[in-house]
Structure 1
Amino acid sequence: MTQLALVTGASSGIGLELARCCARHGLDLILAADEPEIEDAAAEIRAMGREAKALQGDLSDPAAVDRLVGLAGARPVDILLANAGRGLGHAFVDQDWQQARHVIDTNIVGTLYLVQRIARDMIRRGSGRILLTGSIAGFMPGTFQAVYNASKAFIDSFAIALRHELQDSGVSVTLLMPGATETRFFQRAGLLDTRIGQARKADAAEVAEAGFKAMMAGEEQIVTGWKNRMQVAAAHVTPAGMLAEQHRRMAEPNSGQESEEEG
């Protein structure tokens, strides 16, 4: 029987590329995102010869997660790719609280609720694969991205802990940790006027392919890109305050304009 994969944040960027990886691998798909483009993504998957269902919904809402899981019907979800995430730039005290809360509810609360619902069924069957999209941002205090980086630190830690809790269950958990990637993330997070927003970024298809291969191989974690691996290694030995100042230079509003002037 054809296996079923569920991908969140699948309307664009890494999530859409993960969905394409699944389709090329012969999987049927359930796709979710909070944008209407999710229907276009599902149509593309069907054109690749795979079954695809789509949900446009806000996965920070547990009711939307319930609807998403319900799309599987009686079919088991064999692979979960929990990729949905929100970013938010600018100083924490200047941010709209509801937007900051939405980052937390999307990146942490909704993700964990979905993972728990799917993982319980996987454990009962004794098989399954889970890929969680974390970030190298989780290793660095995110000055002017404080809530986002903290949320990714949570996911990075949670994924590894969950993997070891499930190590004898037949269910594998893999953590994908990309760096800055060419997606809509920076526009949606209000970071286009920053150095990181204007810098050259990794290709989403390459990031997704690396994460998918690591998941299928049952690997614990993967940091994509050699520069990102060097950054993670350096973060382990660099004082947190110095990391926070480095992040300030990349994410402070209007730092992109300053970079242009310096160049």
Structure 2
Amino acid sequence: MSKFAIITGASTGIGAELAKLAAADGYELLLVADTPFVDPAANLPGAQTLEVDLSTLEGVDRLLDAAQGRQIDLLCANAGHGLGRAFLGQDVAEWRHVIDTNITGTVYLLQKVLNQMVAQGEGKVLVTGSIAGWMPGSFQAVYNGSKAFVDNFTAAIRNELKDHEGITITTLEPGPVETEFFKRADMMDTSVGQSESKSDPADVAKDGWDALMA
């Protein structure tokens, strides 16, 4: 039976590049995003796409239902949102969406999938954190705070599962990457948004993939 992978945040950027790497390695794919799929990754052989809001538990449940009970060999938990501007001027709905996507939805998905992987005795997980989680981020405080949680949480869960030799958890912690992230986060007018030194998402995905498979 073919290996099966779920990749979230897969419509563009790092997630789309991870999808290409997984397909090249023989995985059948469930590609998930909260925006329409326009990247060629959506047309990869053996790829199924699902547009769903992963900031809600119901959205995560829809993702898991779409897996149709298959053994999940690989999860790339890459979905995430940012938010620029000063914290005091942000709407509650805006910062809650960042927290619910980056933290609540991610934690719920990881708990569900890791329980399945432990039961089946094997599985690989790649979680997209960020170096932003290791530094205060003025005018993107909620995003940096959410990534601090992700970076710390995945390190802790990796330690909890260290005796399960068939399970691996890898955290990808890139710096600024040339993706749609900055436009969606309303950060195109910031120094980092305008920087020409952002990493290529294909290179970042390859680094994460190599670490995952090492």
Separation in structure 2 between the aligned mates of residue 96 and residue 207 of structure 1, nearest angstrom: 32
Please identify which structure carries the higher helix content: 1
How far did residue 41 of structure 1 move? 3.5
In structure 2, the partner of 1:129 is 124
What are the within-5 Å matches in structure 2 for residues 135-154 of structure 1? 135-154=130-149
How far did residue 40 of structure 1 move? 5.7
Separation in structure 2 between the aligned mates of residue 72 and residue 174 of structure 1, nearest angstrom: 22
TM-score by length of 2: 0.96
Moved over 2 A (4+): 38-42
In structure 1, the partner of 2:186 is 190
Separation in structure 2 between the aligned mates of residue 27 and residue 138 of structure 1, nearest angstrom: 30
How far did residue 71 of structure 1 move? 1.3
Q: What secondary structure does 1:87 align onto?
A: coil
Residue in structure 2 matching 1:74, options 69, 73, 82 = 69
In the alignment, residue 206 of structure 1 is paired with which amino acid?
D
What are the within-5 Å matches in structure 2 for residues 86-101 of structure 1? 86-101=81-96
Separation in structure 1 between the aligned mates of residue 187 and residue 119 of structure 2, nearest angstrom: 43
Q: What secondary structure does 1:89 align onto?
A: coil
Separation in structure 2 between the aligned mates of residue 109 and residue 81 of structure 1, nearest angstrom: 16
Q: What secondary structure does 1:174 align onto?
A: strand
Query: Does the CA-based 8 Å contact 2:5-2:75 persist in structure 1?
Result: yes
Separation in structure 1 between the aligned mates of residue 120 and residue 38 of structure 2, nearest angstrom: 29
Residue identity (%): 53
In structure 2, the partner of 1:23 is 23
How far did residue 36 of structure 1 move? 1.3
- Which runs of 5 or more residues in structure 2 are unaligned? none
How far did residue 52 of structure 1 move? 1.4
Separation in structure 2 between the aligned mates of residue 97 and residue 3 of structure 1, nearest angstrom: 41
Separation in structure 1 between the aligned mates of residue 188 and residue 16 of structure 2, nearest angstrom: 22
Separation in structure 2 between the aligned mates of residue 24 and residue 120 of structure 1, nearest angstrom: 27
Separation in structure 2 between the aligned mates of residue 213 and residue 2 of structure 1, nearest angstrom: 20
Separation in structure 2 between the aligned mates of residue 68 and residue 139 of structure 1, nearest angstrom: 30
Q: CA separation of 1:39/1:20 partners in 2, compared to 1, >3 Å: closer, same or farther?
A: closer
Q: What secondary structure does 1:132 align onto?
A: strand
Query: Does the CA-based 8 Å contact 2:12-2:39 persist in structure 1?
Result: no
- Aligned residue pairs total 212
Residue in structure 2 matching 1:119, options 105, 114, 118 = 114
Q: CA separation of 1:135/1:213 partners in 2, compared to 1, >3 Å: closer, same or farther?
A: same
In structure 2, the partner of 1:35 is 35
Separation in structure 1 between the aligned mates of residue 38 and residue 104 of structure 2, nearest angstrom: 22
Query: Does the CA-based 8 Å contact 1:39-1:54 persist in structure 2?
Result: no
Separation in structure 2 between the aligned mates of residue 38 and residue 171 of structure 1, nearest angstrom: 32
Residue in structure 2 matching 1:172, options 168, 173, 183 = 168
How far did residue 9 of structure 1 move? 0.2
In structure 2, the partner of 1:204 is 201
Query: Does the CA-based 8 Å contact 1:53-1:71 persist in structure 2?
Result: no
Query: Does the CA-based 8 Å contact 1:4-1:29 persist in structure 2?
Result: yes
In the alignment, residue 173 of structure 2 is paired with which amino acid?
M
Q: Which has the larger radius of gyration?
A: 1
Q: What secondary structure does 2:186 align onto?
A: coil
How far did residue 151 of structure 1 move? 0.2
Query: Does the CA-based 8 Å contact 2:55-2:97 persist in structure 1?
Result: yes
In structure 1, the partner of 2:44 is 45
In structure 2, the partner of 1:256 is none
In the alignment, residue 197 of structure 1 is paired with which amino acid?
G
Q: What secondary structure does 2:49 align onto?
A: strand
CA RMSD for the aligned pairs? 1.1
- Which runs of 5 or more residues in structure 1 are unaligned? 218-263
